Amino acid sequence: MLRFILVRLASAVPTLLLVIAVAFLMVRAAPGGPFDAERVLPPETAANLAAAYHLDEPLPVQFARYLGGVLRGDLGPSYYYRDYEVQELIAAALPVTALLAGLAAAVALVVGLAAGACAALTANSGTDRLVTGLAMTGISVPVFVIAPLMVLAFAVHLGWFPASWTGGGRGERLVLPVIALALPHIAFLARLTRGSLLEVLSADFIRAARAQGLGTWRVLRVHALKPALLPVVSYLGPALASLLTGAVVVEAVFGIPGLGQLFVRSGLNRDYTLVLGIVIFYAALIIVLNLVVDLVYGWLDPRVRAR
Amino acid sequence: MSLRAALSPLAGRTRGVRLGAWLLLGVVALAVLGPELSPHDYRDTNFDARLLPPGLAGGHLFGTDELGRDLFVRTLTGTRVTLLVALVASLVSLVIGVAWGSIAGYAGGRIDAFMMRAVDALYALPFIFLVILLMVAFERNFFLIFVAIGAINWLDMARIVRGQTLSLKQREFVLAAELLGVRPAAVLWRHVMPNLLGVVVVYLTLTIPQAILVESFLSFLGLGVQEPGTSLGALVNSGVAHMERAPWLLLVPSTLLALVLFCCHFLGDDLRDRLDPRRSGS
Amino acid sequence: MLLDVANLEVAYPGSARPAVAGVSFALERGESLGVVGASGSGKTQTALALLGLLPREARVSGSVRLDGAELLGAGERGLNRARARRIGMVFQDPAAALNPCLTIGRQLQQVLLAHGIARRAGWRPAARRLLERVGLPDPERVLTAWPHQLSGGMRQRAMIALALAAAPDVVVADEPTTALDVTVQAGILALLRELREEDGVALVLITHDLGVIAHNVERVLVLADGRPVEAGAVRDVFREPKHPHTCALVAAAPRLDAPAPPPASPSAPVLSIERLSVSYAGRGAATDAVRDLSLEVGRGETLAIVGESGSGKTTLARAVTGLVTPGTGRVRLRGEALAPALRDREPAVRRRIQMVFQDPQGSLDPALTVREILAEPLGLGGIARRPSAGAVQDATAALLARVQLDAGLLPRRPHELSGGQAQRVAIARALAAGPEVLVCDEAVSALDGSARAGVLELLEREQAATGLALVFITHDLAVVRRIAHRVAVMYAGYLCELADNAALFARPRHPYTRALLDAVPLPDPAAPPAAAPPPAAMAPPANGCTWQPRCRHAIERCTREMPGLAAVGGTLVACHRAAELDLRR
């Protein structure tokens, strides 16, 4: 097991380096400098600014310098918010997004798995059809449609929850954004769980377990659970990535000052260091989360560990 | 899989599948023909008829938007764009993904390791962010939308294709061909590719809705199709702005978008079930 | 009466005939019944019906009484009370029947806890006792092992332990040994016999193998198409089968005393394998290595390579064809050395050695028609570059005729062919390349009775016509007897014995060969029952002869020194005591 972990960790490092390199190059390759949005500068000022931000050095040197900074946790100064370092801005915006995404993930897991299991266990009954139908609808309606519709229905017309972040109390204002973010994942997880559980339940070893006189609950809990969770765990990797994407929309619709918002604004402001910083942060996060997912998968399926 | 098999949902066994297939066909037909048949053009502004609610009177079936443009025509035009982009982008990602994945899987060894390491690295990049970055930096180029969506989707396809190629490589009919002296390129083309079809079609049923979502998302953020052209995502975006006074501006394109996606998923499920190799070998 | 089955019927909606109809039998404590029939005869359906494990859509009628209590229609609660505690089941494929995500210990624990045989805290000793009972060495290790870490035989023993955990009165075993090696099978069958004799467990043994039936049950029930056609004591049914179906089964049962083909006329070797070694750099289970092996096959000769799983025979086949790269050693074709890896061999060279695989369907591309499959070898080298459609039709039809198939099969796809037809197409494809050597890797193992005989005849005919050299890899000694001129016996990667067909069966020289022959269950109740050698340990010994730990004739020298091949009475043997041992039956 330990070797499994180490191997995975070892392969994550070069991936991360590659990611940083690609992102760095893309940002540098984008036309338009960070200062073009403002008034045209006299050449000496431009040259001084360039030197101050090390933009006049050859590319590999810039990259090495940047990489060194990343390793120290220094992501450079923001071009737009001149008084702040990139890592400070990220740290300020992170808690909100983390809370939002974390809660959404938890809700999606609990509700999605439960719904999927219910559907699988009552296969082809009315309950199953209802759950499947709702799930199908859930994945068909994009986040950016759900979020405004929810605001329209629950905030504007029914007035149950605040329409924006500044509206209500701490708990209240989280409800709509978390649900909006979680909904497509609840739907997907429900479908996935249903399919996976149905497949596991028709496996030979489940039949053998029943032949051993094990009751339904025991069969489900001990025998069916682990194998059925395998595809669900595989899905978690891409799911987390898309949660982060969805957060951008939800933050936009509800006016939440999180990382997604920061990113969009930094793009519009051509604040390249901030953009780069956020991209790298997200990439590192995804790599780490994928690693965790891999480990959980390995714990569930011992055959994978042998490889 | 033959054309007949692909069209068979139209005569599908389950009532639901038939409904889904005809509905999708209907939407596509409407999107293609509707704007031609309507007296209004999607660009026609009419400041006297702004923000009209839906209704038969006044000749605007779905109402008008804030510039007096007919919502019916704009929605259908938007659907055209969304579907077109999704289709083309999916095909692009399919070609790249299949080529990349099958070559990596078949070649094996260092080539495979390198190619898939590249995929892993690109996978970790929060692509949607980079895409947004690209679109902001390189102006809102319509062509770039295709590139962007294709660039996101091909990774998954490449992974799936590689996995399938790896297992196909060990299959005895591939070994038999190698023993006969068939050249690697010919083995890849004649034996591996046709047997990838199943998994590719299955995956395509997932990438098309995904591409629709990405295009709509980009348009929603204001980065996609530009005025006066429109797509479903852009319509939803402008709908949000007016959703308290004129909710139909949000509801109509949202419903259509959801409907299209719903049908795609539904049919995709059915197709996947039917192509499942565990059923009577197809 | 312990188990009383009357007029059992199983039907599925949408199917014209019931899967099982009119099955009746009765069993007392300690008795045994064999249920025999071809595949599809309803044997497994009957077994599942007894435990109430049929799918939801099955319609079951009749009566199944266990100690007077009716099981059919008893509901899940009632059935669970009977399952495991009164009636247990052993399944065919232990790899599929064991949960791959749980350790053996955990799976045992569940059964012990569910039936109140052990408490939460003290289940381990009970579990260990069970594993010992089923003959597993090192039970502590097995408890913490996952199914994929165990060999096939060990898995099946674990499966039996699970079935016995709640001490049932009846055990239903559905093809328990079909997926296992013959020596392992003998061990499992011996275990089942022991359980019957010592613990008084009644046994319902389901199989298609008459050899297994002949020595392990007292009474037999023959099924055909779901219906019972004959029943009676085993000796009676074998001696005087009454129903034509039974007669056919008995007649088709493979025997080891079939006439052997006469030895081939000596000729210069076509294929030479010189000191070939192949090893896999895996951690933990290193399977199928080949060690320092040398063999020759002459023109028009059939060499059979026999062994069980782990013997290295499949790896050898793949190394000869270049699909696997050997570590050391060389393969020569008519004296000319071949490149070790297939990709380094020229197409013209590749075509001289062809292979026929075990799974007939698997070796044909499911996306192509038979015509396209056969056109492929024809399109390369020999015939013109771009043959016309007419030429392709003629050539492919001719190929099909050569393997006794009708040209009407050309537009079909592999899944539309029967096993026998598919294998003939595979052979046709191989023959189209004009090979000098044909390697058959378990080529008839997946075929039944008549298809098998037909393919073997076809191969012999081709050999007589073209002087084709056949390398026949198999585990089945009856097939070896039928077709081989010479036989090579492999164990754990080494060559144990190389002998003429007649000599091998009449007087084997290596103790492993003897054990192998003894382990084959003969379909004759009068013959001695199959004997099992002691089970294999997890890894072969580091020093000395690999067979030694399981050998009855081992001496001290055998633990130190690996014997080399030496000629003893016309046979090459790798055994220190070959010259002095008399291993005739």
Of the candidates C53, C81, C284, the beta carbon closest to that of A210 is on C53
Q: Give start and end residues of each alpha helix (H) in chain B.
A: 3-7, 15-37, 71-107, 109-124, 127-137, 142-169, 172-179, 184-187, 193-220, 232-241, 248-275
The confidence score (pLDDT) of residue C382 equals 44
By C-alpha distance, the chain C residue nearest B277 is C366
**Rounded Cα distance, B275 and B206, in Å:** 14
* Contact criterion met (CB < 8 Å) for A212 and C146: no
Sheet architecture: strand order including C59-66: C20-27, C3-11, C59-66, C69-70
CATH T-level topology, domain A93-269: MetI-like fold (1.10.3720)
Sheet architecture: strand order including C469-474: C353-356, C437-441, C469-474, C302-306, C486-491, C494-500, C571-573, C566-568
* Contact criterion met (CB < 8 Å) for C111 and A213: yes
Neighbour subunits, C (≥3 Cβ pairs < 8 A): A, B
By C-alpha distance, the chain C residue nearest B183 is C347
* Contact criterion met (CB < 8 Å) for B176 and C357: yes
Minimal C-alpha gap between B267 and chain A (Å): 11
Question: Computed from CA positions of residues A271, A273, A277, A283, in that sequence, does the dihedral angle turn out positive or negative?
Answer: positive
What are the residue ranges spanned by the domains of chain A?
93-269
By C-alpha distance, the chain A residue nearest C78 is A213
Of the candidates B180, B184, B281, the beta carbon closest to that of C433 is on B180
Confidence of residue B281 (pLDDT cuts 50, 70, 90): very low
Q: Which whole-number Å values give the CA distances from C443 to A68, C363, C485, C489, in the listed order?
A: 62, 11, 17, 18
* Contact criterion met (CB < 8 Å) for A214 and C89: no
The confidence score (pLDDT) of residue B243 equals 78
pTM, to two decimals: 0.79
* Contact criterion met (CB < 8 Å) for C96 and A227: no
Inform me whether the C-beta atom of residue C492 falls under 8 Å from chain A C-beta atoms. no
Neighbour subunits, B (≥3 Cβ pairs < 8 A): A, C
Q: Which residue has the higher pLDDT, C539 or C30?
A: C30
The confidence score (pLDDT) of residue B7 equals 56
Of chain B, the percentage scoring pLDDT greater than 70 comes to 83
Of the candidates B177, B183, B281, the beta carbon closest to that of C366 is on B281
Minimal C-alpha gap between C342 and chain B (Å): 8
* Contact criterion met (CB < 8 Å) for A141 and B258: yes
- What is the tens place of the pLDDT at every residue in A47-63? 776 676 676 677 777 78
Of the candidates A14, A137, A156, the beta carbon closest to that of B262 is on A137
By C-alpha distance, the chain C residue nearest A302 is C101
Q: Which of chain B's residues have a Cβ under 8 Å away from the Cβ of C430? A: 176
The confidence score (pLDDT) of residue B35 equals 79
**What value does the mean pLDDT of chain A take?**
81
The confidence score (pLDDT) of residue A40 equals 65
The confidence score (pLDDT) of residue C488 equals 95
Q: Which of chain A's residues have a Cβ under 8 Å away from the Cβ of C93? A: 204
Strand partners, C228: C223
Q: Which residue has the higher pLDDT, A152 or C436?
A: C436
- What is the tens place of the pLDDT at every residue in A180-216? 899 989 998 998 898 889 889 888 999 999 999 898 8
Q: Which of chain C's residues have a Cβ under 8 Å away from the Cβ of B195? A: 365-367
In this structure, are residues B90 and B244 in contact, taking their beta carbons and an 8 Å threshold?
no
- What is the tens place of the pLDDT at every residue in C550-559? 888 888 888 8
| Across A257-261, B119-123, C305-309, C499-503, least confident range | B119-123
Which whole number is the average pLDDT over B167-183? 90
By C-alpha distance, the chain B residue nearest C441 is B172
Confidence of residue A96 (pLDDT cuts 50, 70, 90): confident
Of the candidates A149, A244, A270, the beta carbon closest to that of B126 is on A244
Which whole number is the average pLDDT over B132-137? 66
* Contact criterion met (CB < 8 Å) for B133 and A141: no
By C-alpha distance, the chain A residue nearest C95 is A205
- What is the tens place of the pLDDT at every residue in C87-144? 999 998 888 899 988 999 999 999 999 988 888 888 999 999 999 989 888 889 899 9
Which whole number is the average pLDDT over B121-136? 70
Of the candidates C350, C355, C357, the beta carbon closest to that of B181 is on C350
Highest mean pLDDT among A75-84, A129-138, C252-261: A129-138
DSSP C225: T
* Contact criterion met (CB < 8 Å) for A208 and C159: yes
